[in-house]
Structure 1
Amino acid sequence: MIERAKKWDITDIGLEEGMKRLTPEKIEKAVNRVLRGEGLARIKTYVDTCIHCGLCSAACHHYLSNDCDPSFAPVAKIKETLWEILKRKGKLTPEFIKKMAEIAYTECNMCKRCAMYCPFGIDIAWMLSLIRRICHFCGVVPQYLQDTVNSHSVTMNQMWVKQDEWIDTLQWQEEDAQDMVSTVRIPLDKEGADVMYSVIGPEPKILAQLLANAAVIMTVAGIDWTMPSFDGWDNSDMAMYSGDWEVMGRIKKAHFEAAMRLKVKKIVMGECGHAFRSVYDVGNRTLGWKMHPIPVIHAIQFYYELLCEGRIKIAKKIKEPVTLHDPCNVIRGRGLHEMARYIMQEICEDFREMWPNREYNYCCCAGGGVINCGPPWKTKRVDSNKVKAEQLQRTGAKILVTPCHNCHSGMEDIINYYKLDMHTKFISELLIECMEIPEGLKA
């Protein structure tokens, strides 16, 4: 296996120390638990179906951005990990597990673009998620990502936000929002509301202004809404990406139970892609639910519906050139691309498409838990998305809209690293600038 980390001079305590604690028995037990107990039939189908055509290569931003190095091709990542496991019948060394972890956690964003280009629809992201699960049971996980999962496990949110801090932040943002709309309230624990609004942990921690934005939009639109004061308000889920699906199930259960406890009609999730996927596609299945107990929609759909129904009106449009990044989990994974474009056309005078776009768009290289692997892997991450930087630069846009938190952070890193003349915004930030606030509501 290629010593990729040496190229970027990376040391990760989670991988190094985890590897030292491994024994042959522990490795074999982890492999058998995952492959025999959770995925062998599907794995066999995929492995026997793959014809090694390499069409997945040109779909992968890691491959394209690393000078088309064949070792970064999706099929190569499977060959260096899963195929080796099957060939060796689970008899693996600690060093092999460490290298396997590096490939699975830092060289695949689970974006599933490769699956679109595979003539047989082989889900390479799913296979690499099993590799991550083996690494989880082996205790070989990037330290920053594992720390985030630990926070989820203890506090039910990824940023270790305590209940009093959460409530205090909501009250603070309610006061800030009242500087724009005098009647704004952030209703806590209101039973029977139409909407429970949920967000991800970084919002109260580092992007609290987005909570004020949501409160203004809800108030102007006349939405009957609430937020929980208790666990379940954080809809994010890094355990889904670490391979700790047991913690993932606990997080999703808390989220849905919060909504059921408040007896709301639906959940509206903030602008986050992985959190949305964890609720509509992964977490519910982990809990054994075919469908959600309460309807769930993403912020893109929510804003689209508000505009279509005339519940919010546009008073002015953004004049600067704007482009839109299509987050993998809500566009390729959920098909909200035309709704997002409707919003952009409504609020932007000069909207410019990047190419390719919609479900064919390149991943931000931050999702899939990769940005949560932390600072040790940052340079490798931005180097591995040169293709995205080139895509952004071609638009000539000054504003990049990214309706997803991981995309937003990842894009900022790319913009700074490649010195691009643009800045990132969430949809809510542009809506606040553009929407009409009735005279009777103005502060």
Structure 2
Amino acid sequence: MAESAKKAAAEITDAGIVGGAAKLTPEKIEKVINNVLKAEGGARLKTYVDICAHCGLCSEACHFYLSHDNDPKYSPAGKVKQTILEIIKKKGKVDVDFMKRASEIASTECNLCRRCVMYCPFGIDIAYLLLTVRRICHKLGITPQYIQDTAHSHSATANQMWVKEDEWIDSLMWQEDEARAEIPDLRIPLEKEGAEIFYSVIGPEPKFRAQLIYQAAVIMHVAGMNWTMPATPGWDNSDMCMFTGDFEMMARLKKIHFESAARLKVKKIVMGECGHAFRSVHDVGNRALSWKMPPIPVVHAIEFYYELIRDGKIKIAKKFDKPVTFHDPCNTVRGRGLHEMGRFVVNATCETLIEMHPNREHNYCCGAGGGVINCGPPYKMSRIDGDKIKAEQLATVKAKGAQTIIAPCHNCHGGLEDIIHHNKLDMDIKFLGDIIYETMEKPE
């Protein structure tokens, strides 16, 4: 590990972890751990822990390990050994300092990207093991402060950005007005019962990236979609509570989301370009509510755009002429297999695609997902240092001529932007919606 990174790590003081740890006793730690392990662990946890051979074959799958000179502490097996294995081995009899470090490892040194699962000979889901550690830390009250603040926003407002109900509606009306200057008969239909599509976004869109709502409205209008958006809480499909281990709040958020779609009697939910949100509504939150699959079909933007272009509902007027590369987000590629659909859209809208290597399900994580970027400024440099391998990958594809990165995920944008700026790579980042809006045929 580089000396600068060691120094930075040593200087991090997280108010959430330190403040929560001050209230802990060894007795409380032991009680909480054993309650979680007994009530929530089950056969899955026992199987993974028992069959791990500590062989280290997962190591080179991890960007943290590769970016820290192959330091075994950063290997997936190493992180498991430093946290959940020790917790189980000692039956919860671990001290406060151990749990503080376990919280840092689980929340800021693992993106839960599941790349390591592909290389484990037993298929152990290390992301699940470290989520179990986060769950214990949540119950102990030692979650990093910034991501806990976001979870509080979810709890208070049912969105991650403290957006009030009237502010949400104002944002949609504002974007409708903007879009009507371009297409006079365009509307963003609110509370339209019986529409085919319920379009949902994540909290940062009305707060910071409202142009994405504008672009989505144009795409929906030109494609002739029968769609709607809710005027009530339930519009935000994101979920930091899934990453803090607050599974009760996670289930509540998904319940609000699905009930909003059910109330409007829509046929399917189409969600914007976000990876973790897709994971929460299609894989984790739905199961917390005892649904094997979502009660209303959920379609990610990648799949939606693919269908629109494939079926001729969107036509391309002129392809994007700068050479591009495509970043495969972990949750929609390893988690859903949308890599070829993504490339179909890119090839339909762009003249030149230059592939990253490795790519598709083998692509390196952006370093921001899994809630890591949401742990905030204290961990920014440790996060960037933990993904030097991604910086090298981007530098290589830039040297081949790529000028623009297409990344269909909000967290990926945040992580890649930080890597690009820190390493002075001078590359643009766009969503698929940005490219489609720019290249599609629109009404005169």
Q: Report TM bin, short chain.
A: over 0.9
> How much has 1:180 moved relative to structure 2?
2.2
Q: Are the counterparts in 2 of residues 62 and 72 from structure 1 also a CA contact under 8 Å?
A: yes
Name the CA distance, whole Å, in 2 between partners of 1:393 and 1:133: 37
User: What per-residue deviation string (whole Å, max 9, x for no partner) do you get for residues 80-106 of structure 1?
Assistant: 111111221111111111000000000
Aligned equivalent of 1:432, options 428, 434, 437:
437
- Within 5 Å, which residues of 2 pair with 1:173-322? 173-322=175-324
Q: Structure 1's 138 and 124: CA in aligned 2 closer, same or farther, altered over 3 A?
A: same
Aligned residues: 437
User: What per-residue deviation string (whole Å, max 9, x for no partner) do you get for residues 251-300 of structure 1?
Assistant: 00000000000000100000000000000000000011122111110000
> How much has 1:44 moved relative to structure 2?
2.0
Name the CA distance, whole Å, in 1 between partners of 2:254 and 2:14: 29
> How much has 1:43 moved relative to structure 2?
2.1
Instruction: Give the equivalent residue in structure 1 for 2:375.
Output: 373
Instruction: Give the equivalent residue in structure 2 for 1:400.
Output: 405
Aligned letter for 2:95?
T
Q: Are the counterparts in 1 of residues 199 and 272 from structure 2 also a CA contact under 8 Å?
A: yes
Name the CA distance, whole Å, in 1 between partners of 2:7 and 2:98: 15
Name the CA distance, whole Å, in 2 between partners of 1:77 and 1:6: 20
> How much has 1:6 moved relative to structure 2?
4.5
Identify unmatched segments of 5+ residues in structure 2.
Answer: none
Name the CA distance, whole Å, in 1 between partners of 2:434 and 2:335: 24
Q: Structure 1's 204 and 122: CA in aligned 2 closer, same or farther, altered over 3 A?
A: same
Q: Are the counterparts in 1 of residues 57 and 119 from structure 2 also a CA contact under 8 Å?
A: yes
Q: Are the counterparts in 2 of residues 183 and 219 from structure 1 also a CA contact under 8 Å?
A: no
Name the CA distance, whole Å, in 2 between partners of 1:5 and 1:226: 50
Instruction: Give the equivalent residue in structure 2 for 1:409.
Output: 414
Name the CA distance, whole Å, in 1 between partners of 2:173 and 2:65: 46
Name the CA distance, whole Å, in 2 between partners of 1:322 and 1:146: 36
Name the CA distance, whole Å, in 2 between partners of 1:28 and 1:153: 27
> How much has 1:109 moved relative to structure 2?
0.5
What is the TM-score of this pair, normalised by structure 2? 0.97
Q: Are the counterparts in 2 of residues 109 and 369 from structure 1 also a CA contact under 8 Å?
A: yes
Aligned letter for 2:216?
A
Identify unmatched segments of 5+ residues in structure 1.
Answer: none
Percent identical residues: 64
Aligned letter for 1:331?
V
Aligned with 1:297: secondary structure?
strand
Q: Are the counterparts in 1 of residues 261 and 269 from structure 2 also a CA contact under 8 Å?
A: yes
Name the CA distance, whole Å, in 2 between partners of 1:79 and 1:373: 23
Aligned with 1:268: secondary structure?
strand
Aligned with 2:80: secondary structure?
helix
Name the CA distance, whole Å, in 2 between partners of 1:174 and 1:322: 30
Name the CA distance, whole Å, in 2 between partners of 1:124 and 1:68: 18
Name the CA distance, whole Å, in 1 between partners of 2:175 and 2:344: 29
Name the CA distance, whole Å, in 1 between partners of 2:8 and 2:380: 13
Name the CA distance, whole Å, in 1 between partners of 2:38 and 2:404: 48
Name the CA distance, whole Å, in 1 between partners of 2:389 and 2:405: 16
What is the TM-score of this pair, normalised by structure 1? 0.97
Of 41-50 and 335-344, the range deviating more from structure 2? 41-50
Q: Are the counterparts in 2 of residues 304 and 342 from structure 1 also a CA contact under 8 Å?
A: yes
Aligned letter for 1:189?
E
Instruction: Give the equivalent residue in structure 2 for 1:156.
Output: 158
2:81 matched to 1:79? yes
Instruction: Give the equivalent residue in structure 1 for 2:423.
Output: 418
Q: Are the counterparts in 1 of residues 30 and 94 from structure 2 also a CA contact under 8 Å?
A: yes
Name the CA distance, whole Å, in 1 between partners of 2:90 and 2:53: 21
Aligned equivalent of 1:147, options 146, 149, 158:
149
Q: Are the counterparts in 1 of residues 131 and 245 from structure 2 also a CA contact under 8 Å?
A: yes
Aligned with 1:438: secondary structure?
coil
User: What RMSD in Å do the two structures reach over aligned CA positions?
Assistant: 1.1
Name the CA distance, whole Å, in 1 between partners of 2:104 and 2:42: 23
Name the CA distance, whole Å, in 2 between partners of 1:181 and 1:32: 60
User: What per-residue deviation string (whole Å, max 9, x for no partner) do you get for residues 352-410 of structure 1?
Assistant: 11000000001011000000000000000011001001111111211011100000111
Aligned letter for 1:419?
K
Aligned with 1:330: secondary structure?
helix
> How much has 1:5 moved relative to structure 2?
6.6
